[in-house]
Amino acid sequence: MALTHPLNPPELPSHCTLPPGSHCSKHNPHPPNSFQSLISTITDILGPSSGLDSTDIDVNDLKSAMRSYQSHEAEWAEYAHKDLSRNYTRNFVDRGNGNANMLILVWTPGKGSLVHDHANAHCIMKVLKGKLKETLYEMPSVPDTPLTVTRSTVYNSDEVTYISDDIGLHKIENPDPENIAVSLHIYTPPWAEQHGCYCFSEKTGKKTKVQMKNYYSVNGLIESKKPQSC
Ligand SMILES: [Fe+2]
């Protein structure tokens, strides 16, 4: 049997003309992690940290990048911590040069969020696994009045949706009674983390300020067992 000395790498296939180290399936059967590439692309779109305002951001570029990624669980599984004692977990992935919060949320079967706003920021959500139901509400023009539903949509894996306070309020639920769902969220600018956001009672419209600084895990490591609100 012919052996290859460890200091002598195998010859490159003759039909590949790219230099060694290139991202080509002939050189490297394991392509770069597409999920990490997506995070890098989003960071590039958001640009350098610059006191970003939500009007500076091209949301269509972000939505397009999110749509172009095809979900592969092995690529993001390290962030996706489930905890069936909670409605969902918020898992920190990246800060995008300080311009965003990129989170992976893991939704317990049959559970969901309260109705909430988005702190005057953009929120783009992509389903990575399972299904998620979004119920959309009018932004109440009169405080403390019952909320009005405007739309209800179920998103499947790899679908992308967008919301801001200009569109209204929403709540997100995992409609599957047996299986978890997983989603990637880009919040930009990261106002909710810095200033909190509001949760709303559907019946009364009463709103409650909640802090969003705590995460279930950060960079894949479980952070704390502090209770989460919204
Ligand atoms: Fe939301």
Asked if residue 116 belongs to a known ligand binding site, the reply is yes
Distance 163 CA to ligand 1 centre (A): 7
32-73 pLDDT per residue, tens: 689 999 999 999 999 887 656 666 778 999 999 999 999 999
Question: Could you give the percent of the chain with pLDDT greater than 90?
Answer: 73
CATH classification of 34-216, choosing from 2.60.120.10, 2.102.10.10, 3.30.460.80, 3.40.50.2300? 2.60.120.10
- Whether residue 122 is annotated as binding a ligand: the answer is no
pLDDT per residue as tens digits for the range 132-170: 999 999 999 998 999 999 999 999 999 999 999 999 999
Q: Within a 10 A sphere around the Cβ of 121, how many other Cβ atoms?
A: 25
Confidence of residue 223 (pLDDT cuts 50, 70, 90): confident
Q: In the chain, where are the structural domains located?
A: 34-216
pLDDT of residue 154: 98
Residue 27, pLDDT > 60, answer no
In this prediction, residues 174-184 reach a mean pLDDT of 98
Q: Is 78 exposed, middle or buried (0-12, 13-18, 19+ CB in 10 A)?
A: middle
- Distance from the CA of 23 to the center of ligand 1, in angstroms? 36
The alpha carbon of 211 and the centre of ligand 1 are apart by a number of angstroms equal to: 14
CA 78 to ligand 1 center in whole angstroms: 22
Tokens 């992308």 locate to 160
Distance 84 CA to ligand 1 centre (A): 20
Averaged pLDDT, 195-206: 95
For all residues of the chain together, what is the average pLDDT? 87
Give the distance (Å) from ligand 1 centre to CA of residue 230: 9
Choose among 212, 208, 215, 170: nearest CA to 195.
212
Give the E-state strand segments of the chain in sequence order.
Answer: 88-94, 101-107, 115-116, 122-129, 132-137, 149-155, 160-163, 169-173, 181-188, 197-200, 207-210, 217-218, 221-222
- CA 172 / ligand 1 centre spacing (Å): 7
Helix (H, G, I), strand (E, B) or coil at 202: coil
Q: Measured in angstroms, how far is the CA atom of residue 151 from the centroid of ligand 1? A: 15
Q: What is the mean pLDDT of residues 101-112?
A: 98
Distance 187 CA to ligand 1 centre (A): 9
170 labelled as ligand-binding? yes
pLDDT of 30 over the 60 cut: no
Q: How far is the CA of 50 from the centre of ligand 1 (A)?
A: 24
Task: Tell me which of 26-40, 171-185, 195-209 is least confident.
Answer: 26-40
Helix segments in 111-204, DSSP class H:
191-195
pLDDT band at 197 (very low <50, low <70, confident <90, very high): very high
What's residue 213's pLDDT?
87
pLDDT of 111 reads 98
